[in-house]
Amino acid sequence: MNPVWANEIYIGTSATSATPPVWTYEKLCKGIESVSFASNEQNQQYYFLCGNGFAHNEVTGAAPALTISGRRIKGDAAQDYVASKQFALGTDRNTSVKIVTAEGKQIICDATIGDVVTFGGNTLDVNSFSCVIYLNGEPTVTDVT
């Protein structure tokens, strides 16, 4: 058995005015206890005569998202950046995300920060922290060397 734990998430905290922008990233890891990835795929389903009643499926779209949760660590650059977006709207929520997977892939994509939570929880707990990183458009996926 070979357990996999080496996934890394970086959030774009500032960008140049160049086109396309060049992002500065901060690692989102301090206080983070859980990360869930959802493909949110759209599927077209067809029933052809030669399928004998069984469907043929095609994935025709996706809206990937990362749901991140843990404990609020004030002073952490990545968490502070996400927290600063809690009451922002529109393009003020836009950023970039970089994911390095344990499978040796680097995924970079424009993104939107949503559902930001920076407080709450039980009376004896550190404040909650959570957000959803919605990927915008097609990600660039490369092999990490």
Residue 125: what pLDDT? 86
Band (pLDDT 50/70/90 cuts) for residue 122 is confident
First to last CA, the chain: 24
Cα dihedral 111→115→117→120 (10° resolution):
-160
Better-scored residue on pLDDT, 13 or 126: 13
pTM of the model: 0.89
Query: 107 pairs with which residues across the strands?
Result: 99, 141
pLDDT of residue 4: 58
- Whole-angstrom Cα distance, residue 60 to residue 64? 13
pLDDT, tens digit, for every residue of 44-94? 999 999 999 999 999 999 999 999 999 999 999 999 999 999 999 999 999
Indicate if the pLDDT at residue 9 is higher than 70.
yes
| 35 vs 122, higher pLDDT | 35
pLDDT at 2 (0 to 100)? 58
Confidence (pLDDT) at 5: 65
Contacts of 57 (CB under 8 A, 6+ apart): 43, 44, 45, 46
Concatenated DSSP letters for 51-66? GTT--EEEEEEE--EE
